[in-house]
Chain A
Amino acid sequence: MPAHIFRLLLLLATFLILAVIARHYVLDPSYYQFGDYRGDAVIEEAAGAPQFRGPAYCQMCHVERHTEWSAGVHVNVKCEVCHGAAREHPADGPLPKPDDTIKLCTACHEAMPGRPAAQPQIVVAEHPVKHDGALPCLTCHNPHSPKIGGQETPVAAEAAVTPEAAAPAQLSPRLVVLTAPCTPCHGADGRNSAMSAALAGSESTVLIRQLQEYRSGALQQPVMNAVTKSLSDEDITDLAEHYASLPGGPTP
């Protein structure tokens, strides 16, 4: 047989064998599992961790806020719309309270051509209270239940309480003992946020959970782990309710 034909056929055969071997090594085993794509790609796509956790996740700690919010007109505006994605909160720190509420609220409520008539809208320049950028919406409107005059309550009352009105003078003897380790860092009014978290005005359910987690070691912070070690469940509840009852906000 002519040598050139033999060489051609040899070349073809070699190519065929190499192709079969290469296919075995190069092709992902899950390719063609369901079609002309890698089946494992579907598993990889499905494996991601959700960032938005939904109101039921928030409710696990923020019971009071959840109750207030779910009864109000903002029930369709879920927690994470304003506070951002919960992700691994509380393990990776607190979620922000929106700082520029005028900007946030008007994202939905500024009168704008194209918005459906059913959407409550304000012409910012004609709003009854001229905020001029200084008075945030929260001065009169409770964001968790924003209607004024209806069954929803304005938030102003809480902010109006002066620190003098809740001076830590009338503490029961039991609370004096219990709060003694807390005061050096958190302040007697629970507002010192310079070197630690501000406690005053927090929800008691949140504080209880955090104290329990410091006690069990689920939350790691050397000082907090040490001072919570000897607390009973009753101590934790009393402490949480005490600090929750103090007026919140920055130190005057």
Chain B
Amino acid sequence: MTRNSSKDKSGRRAFLRTAGKALAGAVGGGALLAKSVAQDEGDGGDAAAKSFPTEDYDWTEHRWAYGIDATRCIGCLRCVEACKTENGVAGDAHHFRTWVERYVYLEGEDKAQVDSHSDPQNIAASGSESEYRFDNRYKDEKVTKAFFVPKMCNQCQHPSCVQVCPVGATFRTEDGVVLVDETYCIGCEYCVQACPYGARYFNEETRTSDKCNWCYHRITKGLLPACVEVCPVGARIFGDLNEPSSPINEFIDNNRIHVLKPETGNAPTCFYVGIDKEVS
């Protein structure tokens, strides 16, 4: 018994000693970790002191927003075509960063007929999948109300896609654009499912998730996004909220604006005018 108990004691002492050393080791390791994090942040601090992400463009000075005036849209789909050209999006009808929906209320019906360029009848009217056109299918029908609604990534302030990304491959920039990091994206498509607006698609070529980025390579050079550049009727408005005289501020100040699906809490920065209750 005595031998046993003394053995127990020595065991306890030894355990405490070892545990003490292990704790010290862990604290040391933690300190190492903290040090490497601090180093990373130190690097970041140096970079932030310069203009970022380019020499001529400082993202802390801008806060971009987008306006869509559905009362002006004529459904010509030049924006869809231009977006594909500008961003190298696959030239078929089923992969796209922006699209236009047509809402048509026929006489006696209280629910709208909705179609977009990827509808088979519209593809047939276009002649090929790389051309975009709405078929004039309602010309002989009794239409009570009809309108076009351009759609795209809403560049949310609280984006669901960023929330669900397991690898930090999608994020919101300082100037208010949600980007996709192609080299970190593993193509799991959680974000495609999480987006309440259906704005993301899977890029078969890069095997990554893809979506509108407001032509980040253009806006950082002082240009407009390609869709805004080519819109012939001014249905697409873009500008900097930090600049009082920008077109987007004029648009927001002079209109009653809506966002799509406000109940999700995503807080989009795409603002709509002239859409109906059924548009979401």
Contact = CB atoms under 8 A, between A and B. Distances in A.
A20 B30 CA distance: 9
A108 to B, nearest CB: 5
A43 B75 contact: no
Interface in A1-58: 1-2, 5-6, 9, 12-13, 16-17, 20, 23-24, 27, 29-39, 41-52, 54
Contact of A119 (B146, B184, B216, B233): B233
B72 A116 contact: yes
Interface residues of B, number: 75
A238 interface: no
A235 interface: no
Contacts of B148: 114-115
Contacts, number: 179
A46 B139 contact: no
Nearest to A9: B22
B195 interface: no
A115 B76 CA distance: 9
B173 A49 contact: no
A35 B171 contact: yes
B29 A20 contact: yes
Contacts of A17: 29
B36 interface: yes
Contact of B229 (A29, A54, A119): A54
10 contacts: A2-B15, A30-B44, A33-B43, A33-B47, A42-B173, A45-B216, A77-B232, A81-B82, A114-B147, A115-B74
A48 B54 CA distance: 12
A112 interface: yes
Interface in A42-78: 42-52, 54, 76-78
Interface of B: 11, 14-15, 17-19, 22, 25-26, 29, 32-33, 36-37, 40-41, 43-44, 47-48, 52-54, 57, 59, 71-78, 82, 85-86, 102-104, 127, 133-134, 136, 138-139, 141, 143, 146-148, 168-171, 173-174, 179, 181-184, 213, 215-218, 220-221, 223, 226, 229-230, 232-234
B53 A46 contact: yes
Instruction: Report the contact-size class of chain A (Cβ under 8 Å from the partner).
Output: 35 or more
The B contact surface, by secondary structure, is mixed
A52 B82 contact: yes
B87 to A, nearest CB: 8
- In the A-B complex, the 9 residue pairs with the closest CB atoms: A48-B217, A1-B14, A114-B146, A41-B181, A37-B171, A33-B44, A113-B146, A113-B143, A46-B220
Contacts of A48: 216-217
A190 B200 CA distance: 51
B236 to A, nearest CB: 12
Contact of B75 (A13, A52, A78, A114): A114
B40 A16 contact: no
Contacts of A27: 40
A206 interface: no
Contacts of A113: 104, 138-139, 141, 143, 146
A32 B229 contact: no
Contacts of B147: 114
